[in-house]
Each structure stands twice: as C-alpha cells, then as structure tokens.
Structure 1
Amino acid sequence: MASSALSQIDVSVLINSRKKFIDEYKILRVLATIMVVLGHSTYFVIEGSLGGVEYIVPEGILLSRLYNFFCYAQYIIYKFHMPLFFFLSGCLYYVSNFKKEYTIAFYPFLLSKVKRLLYPYLIAGLLFLIPVKFISGYYSNTKIIDAIWYGLILGRDSGHLWFLTTLFYVFITFFIIEKFIIKYNFWVGAITIFLLFFLNDKLLVPLPCFINVFRYLFWFYIGFLFEKYRLKVNDIIIRYPTISVSSTIWSFAIINFLTMYADRIDNFTIFSTGAVFIMKTLLTFLGILVTYVISLLLSQWQFFNCSKVVSILDKYSMDIYLFHDPLNYFILFAISILNDFFILQYKSGILLFLLLRTVGVIIVAIIIALGLKEIRGLNHKEQVKC
C-alpha cells in the first residue's frame, strides 16, 4: 500500500557497482527524522487556515527543566531541519542521476515522483490526517468536503504533509532548470535559483500546494552541489574531527546570536535587511553542516552502521514522518479527555508525556507501516488466487 512507496523517496541510492549505501546519508536521514519528531513534541496549540485547537498548558510543565530543554531543542532544530531534508534530497538526486550510466527522461521521472510523493500525500491525508483532525476537534466548524478540497487538494491546510507536495514541485522544477539551463551554463543556472530563492515570498504561482517551493529549491541545489565535493569534504572532516565539530558548532552559535540581535533592531535599512537575510541563510547552512559532520563521524563507527535501531529508523523514516504528527493530535486529545493534563503536574507525568510524543509516536508509526504492508501482502495473495 502506501508504506513501501513512502520509505523509498530517493533514499536507497547506490554509489557503485557493489551497491553500497552512502552511510553518512543514511545516518543524516535518521537524524533529520528524529529532529522532526522532537520539533513536534512540545506544542499545545494547533492552528491552520481551516481549523485549530488550543489546549490549556498546565503550569507544572512550564516549570519543568526537561520540557524547557525540549522547547530549546525545538528552537534550534527549527533553524534548519526542513531545509536539511531538501539538502539531502538534492545530494541523492545528484547520486542517482549523475553517477549512473544512464539518465532518466522527463515523463518517467515525473511519474516516479507522482507515485512516490503525491500518492502517499493523498493516502495519508485522506485516510489518516483528516480523520484524526475531525476526531481531535481540529475541524469542529469545517465540513469534510472543505477539509478535503481546500485543505488537502489545494494544500491550504495540509499540515506537515506540505513537505511531500513541495518536494514534488522542487524535483520537477530542478529537473527542468538542470536540463535546460545548468547543463549549458552553470552560472546562469546558479543565479536563477538564487534569485528565485531571494524572491520566494514575492512570487505567487497559481498551482495547488505550491508552498515555498523556490525557498527549498535553493537548499536542494546546495545539496546537489555538495555531493560533487562530498568525498573531499569527508577527507577534511575525518582528518580533523574535533576541529570540524567544534568550528561548525561555534560558527552556528555565533551566527545564531547575531541573527537574534538583528531581529530586535527596529529601524531596518535595505542594507541591514539584506544582511539579516544572508545571516539567516548562513545559519541554516551551518545547521545542516553540523548535522552532516556528526552523521559522517557516526558513520565511521561500526556500532551505528550495524545497529538494528538505526536500520529500522532508516527503513521507516518516511512512514515516521507521515504518521507522527497526527498521532500527536490524538495524544493531546486523549490526555485532555482522560484527565485534562493532570499528569503534567508531576515530573514522572511530564517524562511520560514527552516519551509518548517522541519514542511513542515513532513506534506507533512503524506499527502502522507494518500493518499497511501486511494488508498489502494479503491483497496481493487474494489477487494471485483469483
């Protein structure tokens, strides 16, 4: 059903004839998935263009060091975690299209992305996200037809599923730019993508679900370029691991401090606005780079490459992404019904709450994926019998 397609979004890419996976990319994908789950583990307010629900935050959890640590982790993660996914997709696009003996034509490429991105978007949205939103009270004043048409089909309230449609548009847009511009003139292509990135908020494209496509196209392109020089970068990182980790983390911290300070300035000039834009872009890149450095160094340890936990998280990373956030809706709704968040007055309750919204949603998402796989297997057997 959906599951087999979900976990294959340009992830299982081969790097040579011996069919070895790129270990650092595997771990990078796992870390990115964990970041997304952590980033969605602390909210009590869910808002959208067609609905929303707000839960009263208990005072006890606001005073919790553990909860505040998660909130701070969320603050850091949100600086770069979604661009990281597009960066990784760009890396793997380069691997799959420029390190093989053949290139794929546009229509097969388009159909593969429809199957791997748009089908899961519709299946997860119709059969999981929308029902959970109605159950949790998110769509208390919204008709189901509006939730489907405006929310899902037009993408005005698709929640976390926006990633799938945006990645679809990014793939198609980059395929066209690469074939007709970058292939013939690198600088014209690079400038075109940067200008689209810079003007993202000004450019309105009348297509359904076309959300920040040019912004993430830029990070896709950065990943595409990075893969060209990955082995050289790896050599430097592996030779100087301590310097690589410390320098990237400190650079991220310094630029983050500068952007925080700049955001508090009231009187902006055109120059200062441009400077802040550049700093925030650099901050995102440094966040991606820190995560990549850590992923590469972890990939050098046999423990991580042979870990069953890492392999499972890698295999079901897309399923975890698809199902984890609606599960958060359900957890918040269920706890509010059972005891109105009374358990969050206690440290043990806060710990259990955060575990449910991190480890718990990961486990349940994997179980759902396995269930879908089993159903698909049964359907296949029935078809064979007929």
Structure 2
Amino acid sequence: MTFVKRQSARRQDIITIRALAIFLVMLGQSIIIYSSGWDLYSTTQTSWVLDHLKNTINMVQMPLFFSVSGFCLVFTLNSKHGLSVIDKSKRLLIPFFTVGLLWMLPIRLLVRYQGYVGKSLWHIILIDIIMGKDNGHLWFLPTLMIIFLILIGVKKWVAIFKWPDWSFDLLSAFLAISVLITVNIFPEVDSIPYIGQLCRNFIYFYIGYFWHCHEEQIRPVKSVAGKISIGLLLFSLCILSWIGMPVPSCFLAVFSMLMVVCVYELIPNWSCKPVQIVSANSMGLYLFHSPLLYISFTLWPDISPYLMLTVNLVGWGLCAFAVTELLRRFRMGFVLGEFCSRTL
C-alpha cells in the first residue's frame, strides 16, 4: 500500500477500507492451513467453518488491497511530483528486497520451509524470491510496481500525442480488461510469476482509481433502502462462496468486482482510533505478519484451529505491529516504503 500526502480527515472511509483490507489479509493468512486448496503444510485438524471462511476472504482480500492502491493513485497524479518511477521503486522495491532477504528468508530457513529444502541459497534468492517463484505474500509489491510502470507508460503516451485527459482512463481500462480476458482464455499465463497476478488484479486497481475519479457520478445508492439492498447483495455473494459450487474463474472475478464495489458503497466516511492505527500500519502488518505464520505451521500444526487462529492473528499480528513501530523509532521507515510523512 502506498502513502501519499493528503487531508485524510476528509476521507475516513478509505482509512477504514484499508484497515479492513489488511485485516482480511491477515485473517486469511492465519487460517490458510485449514484451506482445502492449500497443501503446503499438513495438519490433523480440520475446520469446515475456517475452510469456507478462507474461500470467502479469497474473493475480496487482494482485490480490496489493490483497489485502495488504485484509489490512492489519484492523489499521486494530483501531487506536485506526479507518478514517478523512482518514487514508486523506493516505496515498493526497497521493502520487497529488505523484507524478503532479511525477514522472510531467515524465518523460512530457520523453520526448514519445505519449498526451500534442497535448494542452494542463491537459487532461493534469485529464483524463488526475486523472480517470484516462491516468495509468499511479497508478490504483491513487484506486481504493483509493474502496474505503476504500465500506467507511467500510458501517461507518457497520452502526453506525447497530446490526447485529452480522459484517454488515460480509457486506455487504462482497456489494458485492465484485456489482461483479465487473456488470463481466462490462456490459463497457462496464470503460472508466470508476477504476470499472472498482474493479469488477475489489474482490474481491481483500476476499479479503485475509477471510483475515486468518478464516485460522485457513479454512486448508485443514496437511500437507506438502497444501502440495505447493496448489503444483501454482498451477503449473497458471501453465501455463494460458502456453498462451494464450481464456478468459472471469470465469474469469480465478476463476484470479486461486485464485492469491492459493495464495500466502497457501504463503508461510511467514518473511522475510529483503532481503525486508524491499523490503517496507518497496514504496510508493516502486511510485510511482517505472514512469515511469522510458518513458525506456527511448523511447530504447532495440530493444535486447535481456533487456538491457531488466535496465535496467528493476535499474537503474530502484535509482533508485526511491534516490528513496524520499532523501525520507525529507529528511523528505518524506508523498510516500510516511508520516505515522507504518512497521511493516508
């Protein structure tokens, strides 16, 4: 998640949405060992509830995370520096390399992570981490960087040919839809590191951007009855994910888009102190939480599912928060991609 200068008090809804996004990511990661679609670690415990909860979270966690980044792109474009390759590289790639090599890698080696057993250190660093074959949650950062590089190229193209401003929106939408269609027609693209994630998530980034640019015109619901209808739609989509019916990936993408739009429509322009704290530390929580889970999955795979959930979400979540705060206190905010005061 990127940080930009803005008057955050005017948009408390985005602070709340970002806090919700990181909470869902952490919750989903905490219970992934009970997901029927994840077999990296085995456990004697099963949980039908947590398995289906994970399926629901999968439909919205990263789409929501990407959409907030797209929403914040508008602030970047309106800033005096604009959309800069150097700025985005510092904010995304420095955390990627630092956390990947100095946090995730040592933890995985310490617990003898199965995906790295039998591989040389250089293979792990170059192929698994940097090239994205097996770098866990860190795939988000290079993928987001690629999206920004694409949009910077589009922006320069529009400037060179002196096209109207709306052409940037149109070209970005065309690219987002095109890559999504491509990955559904050619599923093998999905297995290419970063490219597959880019194809599947570009559309959510664009939804956040488009919503910010045009929300006054596209907000379809203002009445209480309309809000209730949107809430029922979101609830129905969650129920569909619990049923577990086989659904083509293209329909899952549509469901995810609807869920993201529902969240943006339903979240009020309000937040509270705990929500603001979680939102302000979302990058640190994202970076440091996930690798700690491998300790639980390695040492205590067979404990009660709800004890596992508590240890992972609360225990490791507080550890990730503490590491984030320590880095700031020691003036190492660059590890979090922070190079100026955070306001959103």
Q: Give the TM-score normalised by structure 2.
A: 0.80
Partner of 1:49: none
Partner of 1:125: 100
* 1:256 positional shift: 5.1
Flag structure 2 segments of 5+ consecutive residues without an equivalent: 159-163, 333-344
Q: Is 2:32 the partner of 1:43?
A: yes
Please point out which of 236, 241, 248 is paired with 2:227: 241
**1:8-87 matches, cutoff 5 A:** 9-14=1-6, 20-44=9-33, 54-55=41-42, 57-58=43-44, 61-62=45-46, 67-87=47-67
Please point out which of 278, 299, 308 is paired with 1:334: 299
In 1, the alpha carbon distance for the partners of 2:254 and 2:170 equals 20
In 2, the alpha carbon distance for the partners of 1:188 and 1:373 equals 39
In 1, the alpha carbon distance for the partners of 2:34 and 2:306 equals 20
**1:214-293 matches, cutoff 5 A:** 214-232=199-217, 236-237=221-222, 239=224, 240-250=226-236, 252-253=237-238, 261=245, 263=247, 276=248, 278-293=250-265
Deviations 1:123-149 (A, max 9, x none): 101111111111111133122121111
Q: Secondary structure at the match of 1:137?
A: coil
In 1, the alpha carbon distance for the partners of 2:49 and 2:189 equals 38
Give RMSD over aligned pairs.
Answer: 3.2
Partner of 1:5: none
Larger Rg: 1
CA contact (8 A) 1:30 1:317 kept: yes
Q: How many residues align?
A: 318
Identity %: 22
CA contact (8 A) 1:178 1:189 kept: no
Deviations 1:92-146 (A, max 9, x none): 1123314x5x462x6xx11111111000000101111111111111133122121
Q: Secondary structure at the match of 1:236?
A: coil
* 1:77 positional shift: 0.9
* 1:262 positional shift: 5.4
Q: Is 2:117 the partner of 1:140?
A: yes
* 1:277 positional shift: 5.1
Partner of 2:180: 197
Change (3 A) 1:209 1:284: closer
Q: Secondary structure at the match of 2:330?
A: helix
Partner of 1:156: 133
* 1:69 positional shift: 2.4
* 1:208 positional shift: 7.7
CA contact (8 A) 2:41 2:297 kept: no
* 1:255 positional shift: 6.5
CA contact (8 A) 2:183 2:196 kept: no
In 2, the alpha carbon distance for the partners of 1:204 and 1:222 equals 22
In 2, the alpha carbon distance for the partners of 1:70 and 1:257 equals 10
Which amino acid in 2 is paired with 1:142? Answer: K
Change (3 A) 1:233 1:121: same
Partner of 1:267: none
Partner of 2:342: none
Q: Secondary structure at the match of 1:40?
A: helix
CA contact (8 A) 1:87 1:219 kept: yes
* 1:184 positional shift: 6.4
Change (3 A) 1:198 1:234: closer
Flag structure 1 segments of 5+ consecutive residues without an equivalent: 1-8, 47-51, 264-275, 345-349, 378-386
Which amino acid in 1 is paired with 2:202? Answer: L
Which amino acid in 1 is paired with 2:27? Answer: L
* 1:210 positional shift: 4.2
CA contact (8 A) 2:189 2:196 kept: no
